[in-house]
Amino acid sequence: MNNYGFLSRLLKLFFLILIPSIVQAQYCVSGCNPDTFVNSANPNTIEYDNLISVFHASLAKEKDGSFKVWGQASHSNGTSDLYSPTLIAPSNGFNYTGTPLRVAAGSISNTGHQFALLTTDGLYVWGTINTLISSTIKTTSAFGKITINSKTDGLPAGVNPSDVKMMFGSYRTLAIVTCNGDAWVLSFNGSKNGDGTAEGTTNNVIWHRVKTSLAGNPNLNNVVAMRGTSNALFALTSDGKLYTWGTGTYINNGAAATRNYATEVSVPVGATPKMIGMTQGGGSLLQTYYLLATDGKLYAMGDNSNKQLGDGSTNTSTVWNEVTAVSGSNTLGGNIVWISPNEHSNYANSATINVLTNNNKQWAWGANSGNMIGQPTSTAFYDPIYMPGNSTAADGLSLTDEVIAVETGGHTTINVKKCSQNFGYVGHRTNGSMGDGSAANTNPTSFTYSTSVLIVCGTDLGPKSKDLKICSGTTANLDNANLEINSSEVEWHATNDANSPVITNTTAMGPGTYYAFFTSASGKCRLVGTIVTVSYYLPTDPGNPCACYNPGTISGTAPDTKLGITLLKRAGTNSPDNWPMVRKSGHIALESNTKGFVITRMSSTEISSIPAPQEGMMVYDKTAKCLKIYSDGVWSCFSNPACP
């Protein structure tokens, strides 16, 4: 392993120890992952799939961790349509057990949509058979749990549901990345098993561990993201390397080729990868690749038949080229923070991408199939367009609007504007795909926000905050949960209502759920508060800083305590209590019912400045208002939990 990889692993371990309430494993983030959309930053933990759009259907993860689905063939029976975002829950016919973790989907035009839900109990699939996974695995369209290779949770051998970091779907393709960086593929299209095996009766219905093209074909390790199309896949590793395999692939060196093992793709000079993506026109077996660098530059390579490279031509490029464009005073190059190519749907002439810039503006280019980027000619291909859609529409997307999330489907685009509880929609509106409660069949060419309320995870309208954990017997300071630069703009409530009473004393809060809102004076959005949970550390939590003790005995054969100070007039061997000898195994015993024992009292800052604290040292923290003990290099408030 090179030095970069070693340091990366070391930092991940350090992060795990310090923040057990957020990070589960090497690359995993639990709950509602805020590292997404315009706030995306860390390549190793970016969440790509809080919004997923296929041809005429979409999935969304809401900020409370629940999932919703709507559009064509999305009903739990796998054939009917859902006209509004519908909670994926047993009450709506999605009869799963366990806790939902991830969703995925794949489609081919309007003839096939298939969906997957991963819960802590296993993998469930519904929709048009033979679209996402082989019909040999799932023979019916109705929602149901699958078994693969005798494993009843449907996952690869040795992989549990909680181990899955990313679950990606495309036409006849399901791929997962685990928390420790393993890549697995379940596919029956495009020769992309990634382990050198060919498609066939046996290989189409089992998981394949992706291997590299290096000598001996070792496993592909340290993967943090895997994206793709129906014919090829693309992976990013924690040390910033890129790999691809499948049909019509490019590696930044030479013509397209079919690659049966993961083959390294060279990175543009000076670029550090942040996000990856792919698209394919459907009618072509050639792939298009996107690489977003941490400095905001976007690079594209491969097929360009739909103008999806954004270079003003339809010429294929076998090497990376930066995408740049100018619209008035707005520039695209070097300012991009999020990319969303059409990757889940296989359809002719639908190679398209939407991106967001660091000033919350949206650009799009490529195919306009079904008017999916808001342009008038559905059969035309377009160069990069600033703020696609008709800005004159009453409820549309104006040039002053700020877009904070976007997802590209096979015939549609959906986005989320800042301070809006309704998502925007443009493209082919049919079979409930717009999520507005209607089955109407039209092709709007401008974004409309006359849709359902949807609070997508990562598009929080409230302040940036984090959950807190505390030791038993202590309280939390909600100010420590606030991540806003200007903390004076944040207020706290006990309910998700900005008009409810404000919590005036936030420094001593017990376990519970609280809501952070921007103040009225801030002028910022107050529609929805950010949920913050305060909970106790569990004995099994990694890095649990809470002290614990096992009660000692006051009788038995332990040595006597010889020295004592008491105000209760019972000292001496002739006293009925035999005090202090009855207090076994002590150096000194103190007792009183009218006096207290006073020890050194210091602020948290003063305590942290003690030059050489000793194991077992105690001091009272005036800031945290608790007795602290120094143990294993950490000052911890003493509380009364039982030892595990």
Largest CA distance in the chain: 104
> Is the separation of the CB atoms in 414 and 406 below 8 Å?
yes
Alpha-carbon distance of 522 to 130, in angstroms, equals 52
> Is the separation of the CB atoms in 247 and 228 below 8 Å?
no
Alpha-carbon distance of 58 to 73, in angstroms, equals 11
> Is the separation of the CB atoms in 177 and 102 below 8 Å?
no
pLDDT value for 25: 46
Alpha-carbon distance of 315 to 303, in angstroms, equals 7
Q: Tokens in use for 101?
A: 């973790």
pLDDT value for 24: 42
Q: Tokens in use for 287?
A: 């792939």
* H/E run at residue 293: strand 288-293
Q: Tokens in use for 99?
A: 């806790």
Alpha-carbon distance of 231 to 247, in angstroms, equals 5
How many other CB atoms are found less than 10 A from the CB of residue 180? Answer: 17
DSSP state, residue 579 = B
First to last CA, the chain: 36
Torsion angle (degrees, nearest 10) of CA 289, 291, 297, 303: -10
The pair phi, psi for residue 369, each rounded to 5°, is -55, 125
DSSP character string of 406-460: EEE-SSEEEEEETT-SBEEEEE-B-TTTT-SS----B--SS-B--S-B--BTT--
pLDDT value for 543: 73
Which amino acid is residue 341, in one-letter code? P
% of the chain at pLDDT higher than 70: 91
pLDDT tens by residue, 376-395: 899 999 999 998 765 555 66
State the pairing for strand pair 257-265/242-249: antiparallel
Using alpha carbons only, give the angle 627, 633, 638 rounded to the nearest 5 degrees: 20
The pair phi, psi for residue 162, each rounded to 5°, is -70, -10
Q: Which residues of the chain have pLDDT under 70?
A: 1-26, 282, 389-395, 547-557, 572-577, 639-644
pLDDT value for 640: 52
pLDDT value for 605: 87
* H/E run at residue 385: strand 381-386
From its phi and psi, is residue 348 left (phi > 0), alpha (psi between -120 and 50) or beta?
A: beta
Alpha-carbon distance of 317 to 567, in angstroms, equals 89
- Measured over the CA atoms of residue 584, residue 588, residue 592 and residue 598, the dihedral's sign is negative
pLDDT value for 21: 34
Give the 3-state secondary structure of residue 383. Answer: strand
